[in-house]
Structures are given as structure tokens and as C-alpha cells.
Amino acid sequence: DAKTTQPTSMDCAEGRAANLPCNHSTISGNEYVYWYRQIHSQGPQYIIHGLKNNETNEMASLIITEDRKSSTLILPHATLRDTAVYYCIVRVDKAGNTDKLIFGTGTRLQVFP
Amino acid sequence: EPEVTQTPSHQVTQMGQEVILRCVPISNHLYFYWYRQILGQKVEFLVSFYNNEISEKSEIFDDQFSVERPDGSNFTLKIRSTKLEDSAMYFCASTRGTLYQPQHFGDGTRLSIL
């Protein structure tokens, strides 16, 4: 799996959009970008993933650059409950692929009132 | 929404004792995992399990560790003779294993070795 680089920490005001960047310059053509988050001492929670098109679900949006070397997770209206460590993980995704997840240190997002 | 459940939430054990951590994966999932997180450190993969056998294990998962799916619903992690350095959060995860299906995690068991 390709390595990712994320800022150590970020702050965001409640109600504003939180934009979390991730660099994955060595990503391969068949590797997806996954985002998980970990709220204090809880298990990692899946947020979203994508290959090359932008993706949106009820939790967040994922913007992947055209060259796929970086991406941004967007929480459109951050709340205090979004305070967590956010992990960007790249991995191959195909039917039956059940490889382990390799977590980095992630970005600690602090949402303040 | 179905979820992965883990028991107990906190386990305190004397060094050298055996401990069993329990997990109930999501019911239609086929692949199961254990991860651990030492306080202040990264989440680390321990082992994956499919079709009643280990698919992959990390260097951490030595002879002191074992996993089992004793029935159709539970997935357990056993540490035979615990050491102080086994103190950590242990997370169970599961996935259906089909395309685009992520791994879903439980909220973990905090294991404290005295």
C-alpha cells in the first residue's frame, strides 16, 4: 500500500467546513483512497472512499485531484462531535480484497465552538 | 444499523494470566480482524481470519496469541500469558469482503495488565 502524508493537527470552527488534506504521491492506478476517523478511544469509523471521481455521502465529500496524488476530505458543516483523528489510507479494492488496513498517525481535528 | 460489538469494554488482568477478548461481528460478514492500539500510538493490525483459519498475521501476533470462531457469531482473541506490554485497546473488525465494502470496527476492549 502507498504511503500517505497528513498534517498532524487542524482546527475548525463549529458550523464551518473542515477541509482535511492528504498527500499520496506514490498511489498506484488501482489503489483507492479511504478515510476513517477515530473519536476519542472509540473504534475507527469508516467515512468514505474513492478512486478518481469525487464522492459524497451523508458524512462527507472526497475530492481527489486529477493526477490522484492528493485528496481532501470535506466535512461541510463541522460540529463538536466531529472532533477526532482522521486517517487517510490508500489500498487496492477489488472483490474479495480483504487486506489489513495500515493506519498512519492521521490528522487530529479539533472543532471549537 | 448493524454493528460490531465487543465485550468486555474493560478487562483488568494480572500479568501471566490468560485473557479472552470477545467480539460479535456483523452477521453477514465473512472476514474478521483484530487490531490493537497502545495508548498514544497507531492502530496496528494483528490478525485476519476467514473460513475458519488465519489469513494473515503480523509480527506482534506470536505464539501467545490465538483466535477462534467457536460458533456462528463470536470471534475471540486469546492471549495465553499476558505481559505488561499487552496493555492496549483491542479492536475487532469485520467485512463482507465484497467490492467496496469497508471494514467495520467495534468500540474496543481496553486491556490493562497489572
Is residue B91 less than 8 Å (CB to CB) from chain A?
yes
pLDDT score at A96: 55
pLDDT score at B43: 94
Tell me how far apart the alpha carbons of residues A105 and A103 are, in angstroms, rounded to a whole number: 7
User: B100 with A33: CB under 8 angstroms?
Assistant: no
Strand order in the sheet with A84-92: A9-13, A107-112, A84-92, A31-38, A45-50
Query: What torsion do the CA atoms of B67, B70, B75, B78 make, to the nearest 10 degrees?
Result: -40
Tell me how far apart the alpha carbons of residues B46 and B61 are, in angstroms, rounded to a whole number: 6
Site from A92, A98, A108 to mutate, B interface, most B CB atoms within 10 angstroms: A98
CB contact under 8 A, A104 and B42: yes
Tell me the average pLDDT of chain A: 91
Q: Which residues of B touch A41 (CB under 8 A)?
A: 89, 108, 110
Q: Between β-strands A18-23 and A9-13, what pairing exists: parallel, antiparallel or unpaired?
A: unpaired
Q: What is the pLDDT of residues A83-111, one digit of tens each?
A: 999 999 988 765 555 788 889 999 999 99
C-alpha cell at A65: 485531484
Interfacial B residues in 3-42 facing A (CB < 8 Å): 4, 31, 33, 35, 42
CB contact under 8 A, A96 and B100: no
- Nearest-CB residue to B97 (from A41, A44, A98): A98
Q: What Å distances lie between residue B112 and A38, B17, B61, B71, B91, CA to CA?
A: 21, 12, 18, 27, 14
CB contact under 8 A, A103 and B43: yes
Tell me how far apart the alpha carbons of residues A50 and A6 are, in angstroms, rounded to a whole number: 17
DSSP string, A36-77: EEE-TTSPPEEEEEESSS-EE-SS-EEEE-TTSSEEEEEETT
pLDDT score at B101: 79
- Nearest-CB residue to B108 (from A43, A94, A102): A43
Per-residue pLDDT of chain B (114 residues; tens, 9 = 90+): 779 999 999 999 999 999 999 999 999 899 999 999 999 999 999 999 998 999 999 999 999 999 999 887 899 999 999 999 999 999 999 998 776 778 999 999 999 999
Is residue A8 less than 8 Å (CB to CB) from chain B?
no
CB contact under 8 A, B102 and A43: no
Of B109 and A28, the structure prediction assigns the larger pLDDT to B109
pLDDT score at A1: 56
pLDDT score at A71: 97
Q: Which residues of A touch B108 (CB under 8 A)?
A: 41-43
pLDDT over threshold 90, residue A19: yes
For residue A3, what pLDDT band results from cuts at 50, 70 and 90? confident
Rg from Cα positions in chain A: 13
